[in-house]
Amino acid sequence: MSEARVAVVTGGAAGLGRACVERLGEDGYRVVVGDLDRDGAESPAKELGPDVRFRPTDVAVAEQVRDLVGFAVSEFGALHLMVNNAGVSGVMHGRLLDEDFADFQHVLAVNLLGVMTGTREAARHMAANGGGSIVNVSSIGGIQAGASVLTYRASKAAVVHFSKCAALDLAEHGIRVNCVAPGGIPTGLLASATASDEMTDRVRAHMAATQPLQRLGTPRDVAEAVAYLGGSRSLHVTGTVLTIDGGTSAGPKPMRPAPAS
């Protein structure tokens, strides 16, 4: 039997990260979840059995990211895949004129510095051990401009560019670095970015209606892409951005004449 593959998923206690943990488990990975040390954060790892472990981690703190990678290697003996997924939206402000950038440091520390340190720490191990795969979670907000969550969009655009640069820098070590860029997918992140349940419902309806495929994406849709980019089916793929957005970033939904009545 071949050696089990080992993955780290940051932000793996909920939302898209949790779906990645489950999907990678189906491919036989042993997974370490790095997430904030909150009440109940470790419970998904417990539910998913002995091949999933939880390590309290704030990805905004470089030492904790280093500890997370070290923990995975000491628990499971290797690291083949790093999924830098943890992210925060910041407060959804209406207009730039009202923006006070109060959460600028925090959003950048989690969404960008967390991804950069996660990439570096994983790559340090992988470079010395024959290579590996790193998947960074950006967003359609890092590709398309929009008049909301400005800091979030800027952080996610930086994740795309950083990942391409890292892919070039790390290729000689057999390390692939790719991004996924999900469109709007209902998770806790959406609720935390909106001011009320009513607003959340409106955003959900807007998401489904405006995506060319006219369906709400699911965490599982993103997890499938992460599993593909993380494993041996994508050995010749690096420095790319895979959008999982129902076609939204390809262009606007076509205008069709109303059907004749």
Ligand X SMILES: NC(=O)c1ccc[n+]([C@@H]2O[C@H](COP(=O)([O-])OP(=O)(O)OC[C@H]3O[C@@H](n4cnc5c(N)ncnc54)[C@H](O)[C@@H]3O)[C@@H](O)[C@H]2O)c1
Residue placing its CB nearer to ligand X in the complex, 37 or 232: 37
Let me know: does 136 contact 159? Beta carbons within 8 Å. Answer: yes
Cα(123)–Cα(120) distance, integer angstroms: 5
Q: Under the criterion CB under 6 A, does residue 139 sit at the interface with ligand X? A: yes
Q: Does 22 bind ligand X (CB under 6 A)?
A: no
- Which residue, 182 or 246, is less far from ligand X as judged by CB? 182
Residues 198-237: x where in contact with ligand X by CB under 6 A, - otherwise, as a string:
----------------------------------------
Q: Is residue 35 close enough to count as binding ligand X by CB under 6 A?
A: yes
* 152 a catalytic residue: yes
* Residues of span 160-179 touching ligand X by CB under 6 A: none
Q: Nearer to ligand X by C-beta: 133 or 187? A: 187
Judged by CB under 6 A, does residue 190 bind ligand X? yes
Catalytic residue, from 152, 223, 231, 238: name it.
152
Hey, which residues are catalytic here?
152
Q: Note the residues at the interface with ligand X (CB under 6 A).
A: 10-11, 13-17, 35-36, 57-60, 85-88, 110, 137, 139, 182, 184-185, 187-190
